Structure 1
Amino acid sequence: MTYIIENANILKESELLTTSLLVKENKFAYISNNIRKYSFTRMNAEPYIMTPTFVLFDSLEHFKNSSFQEKKDYFLKNFVMQGCTTFLTYVNIKYENEVSSKIKSTKLELINSPIDYLIGIKVPLRLLTPGLIRKCKKEKVPAIFIELNEMDDLSIIPWGWIREAMFPFNSPLIPYIVDMEVRKSKKLLFEWNNVMKVQKINHIEEPLSERQPLQLRVLSKLGIFPLKSSIVQGGEVSYNLYKKNREFKNMDTLSLFQYHNERLLVTVHKGIVIRASEAGILFRSGFGEHVSVKLPSFFSIL
């Protein structure tokens, strides 16, 4: 079905843009203020704030090996009801040869997911080797979480070899701070960022927060922007509609997610309405797909 969403107030992070969108074959075929010449069915979006759907990070620590009903409730409460249609998770790796098998088993665990997902890995710093990086590159792992504790010495890692092994896929390294007091964690993160910048390695500056939207710069480094969490010409039709009010004039998408969830009325995932107010929640078992990243950091977001 081809139709037009007109007078759309699109909020991208903190920037609000009013425009119209031509939807064709579940893609945003054309985005412009000048769509008057088309005679397709029109939907007036003026009473709403439109945002891209969110990509959340969730370790799924309390999710695995649960029943179907428990998984369903988890998906609905923590993702669909929050306007999220894609999430990033990871598998814990203790040995280099576990990468392929653990990713495969996690895909099976998520076979009933109603939304899309990406699977990274989490390893202790000592396991970060060129061999591990090559295995991740072969599996197109989009993110490598590095466990850091106060006893770790970043200087002993052969970063030059790591950088060479990462090329050209360059999955970002993401710090994961093991239980540590704030002062020590800040010092370790400061050292982490210094090393990453000197070695010119694709990385994330800070640990990701559980069940919080990933920012554009993170999505870009992961290689899933503009594939996900974006409203762009040629992109998939996935978006949220919030009931507009005066408070939204100087709002950003993170504030909408954190403080105005009660105003979220509609969530569309790949052209399908999966939420229409709180009463109309659609759970499509298995509708979610494993997202394969082609090239991390292909688009640069400053």
Structure 2
Amino acid sequence: MYIIENANILKNRELHTCSLLIKDDRITAIQAGFKRYQLIKMNVEPYIMTPTYVLLSSKIPHQGSFQDLKTFLIDHYLLKGCTTLLTYVDLLYEHELKEKITAMKMALISSPVDFMIGIKIPLRLITPTLIRSCKKEKVPAIFVDLKDPNELEKIPWGWIREAMFPFNSPFIPLISCSQKKEEKAVLSKWNTIIQKEKIPALYEVIEEGQPLSIPVLNKIGLYPQKASLMNGTELSYNLFLKGREIKKVDEVSLFHYHSDRLVVTVHKGKVVRAGNTVLFKSGNGEHVKVKTPAFFSL
């Protein structure tokens, strides 16, 4: 056990100073201080502490060489303070589900960051049988390609809702490039139908390479398991050098505009980035399985 003291945790654009009691690479208590404890203490007063990020990436070079994958994960994840990735596999047929998820899982077995694997499907694959298979495999997110939004009205939503329960893996809209001009209209139709049919889903497209928000993380069942600093959560955090210009920023702004101040990234209690040095720990990542999406009430 040890104590991280004088931690300036960024939350809602404000710094909250506290101390964290750490045991077995998890946070067991958060208080103003632990004066009575005779333990090793680590002072992080010169830094701003944030949870590590979760990013979506659909373009992981999982079929290339190990070196290609290593370079990608370092550049797009570890150097950006991200220790969990969300990706998906493309399905054209229902029977491909288990095979493709297993293949992606095996491709990421050497990953130093944790990973979640969703699926991407055309609208025609929104069927009760596929949804039941997703529930069985505990697929955390179902990305839906909205190439032909008119097909939305032909889906038997009542049966789909029944098939989803009680796991309720959310549908997440994807807009193809050819429809970018019509994106608002497509999303409006999507939102009207999923709200009317009471289907667990996201109302907006997730942007790749940007930290997933807490509501999105909760919807896919990852919060507060990841991207949070609470009692009982794993010890995964970033340390940014403090400065006047970053006193009133949020975590997304830190990610985009102050990456030069990121000096330490810790993943499950282990340092994976110190200064400009990345400690690539092959296989240190794990396939994160969700118990219940949207279980945590925000």
Give the structure-1-normalised TM-score: 0.96
**Which residue does the alignment assign to 1:76?**
74
Partner of 2:58: 59
- For residues 246 and 121 of structure 1, the distance between their equivalents in structure 2, rounded to whole angstroms, comes to 43
Q: Deviating runs (4+, > 4 A) in structure 1?
A: none
Alignment of 1:242-257 (within 5 A): 242-257=240-255
Q: Which amino acid aligns with 1:43?
A: M
What corresponds to 2:164 in structure 1?
A: 166
Among 200, 218, 226, which residue is 2:224 paired with? 226
Partner Cα distance (2:33, 2:4) in 1? 12
Matches within 5 A, 1:204-219: 204-219=202-217
Question: Which moves more between the two structures, 175-184 or 159-168?
Answer: 175-184
Amino acid at match of 1:11: L
In structure 2, how many angstroms separate the alpha carbons of the residues matched to 1:203 and 1:167?
13
Aligned partner (choices 286, 293, 298) of residue 296 of structure 1:
293
Q: CA deviation at 1:15?
A: 4.1
CA distance in 2, matches of 1:271, 1:292: 20
**Structure 1, residues 157-206: CA drift from partner, whole Å, max 9, x if none?**
11111111000000010001112344411101011111111111111111
Aligned CA distance change for structure 1 residues 247 and 113 (closer, same or farther; 3 Å) = same
Corresponding position of 2:120: 122
**Which whole-Å deviations, capped at 9, do the CAs of 1:37-57 have from their partners, x for residues lacking one?**
112111111110000000000
The aligned residue for residue 7 of structure 1 is 6
User: Which stretch of the first structure deviates more once superposed, 34-43 or 20-29?
Assistant: 34-43
Shift of 1:286: 0.8
Structure 1: runs of 5+ lacking an equivalent: none
* From 88, 91, 95, the counterpart of 1:90: 88
1:116 maps to a residue whose letter is: D
Aligned to 2:49: 50
Cα distance in structure 2, aligned partners of 1:136 and 1:15: 39
Task: Verify the 8 A CA contact 1:221 1:300 in the aligned structure 2.
Answer: no
Amino acid at match of 1:241: L
2:279 corresponds to: 282
Distance in 2 (alpha carbons) for counterparts of 1:12 and 1:203: 26
Deviations 1:116-159 (A, max 9, x none): 00000000011111111000000000000000024533111111
| Equivalent residues of 1:125, 1:152 under 8 A apart | no
Matched residues in 2 for 1:127 and 1:28: separation? 42
Root-mean-square deviation (CA), in Å? 1.2
Distance change in 2, residues 1:30/1:164 (3 Å): same
Whole-angstrom CA distance in 2 between matches of 1:79 and 1:183: 30
Give the Cα separation in 1 of the matches to 2:194 and 2:178: 21
1:104 aligned residue? 102
Does 16-25 or 291-300 show the bigger shift? 16-25
Identity of aligned residues (%): 53
Query: 1: distance between equivalents of 2:166 and 2:70?
Result: 38
Judged with a 3 Å threshold, the aligned counterparts in structure 2 of structure 1 residues 195 and 57 are, in CA distance, closer, same or farther, namely: same
Matches of residues 14-25 of structure 1 in structure 2 within 5 Å? 14-25=13-24
Larger mean CA deviation between 33-42 and 90-99 belongs to 33-42
Give the number of equivalent residue pairs.
Answer: 298
Q: Work out the CA distance in 2 between the residues paired with 1:203 and 1:50.
A: 31
Alpha-carbon shift at residue 247 of structure 1 (Å): 1.4
Report the alpha carbon displacement of residue 251 of structure 1 after superposing the two structures with TM. 0.4
Report the residue type matching 1:289 in the other structure: E
**CA distance in structure 2 between the partners assigned to 1:96 and 1:223 by the alignment:** 23
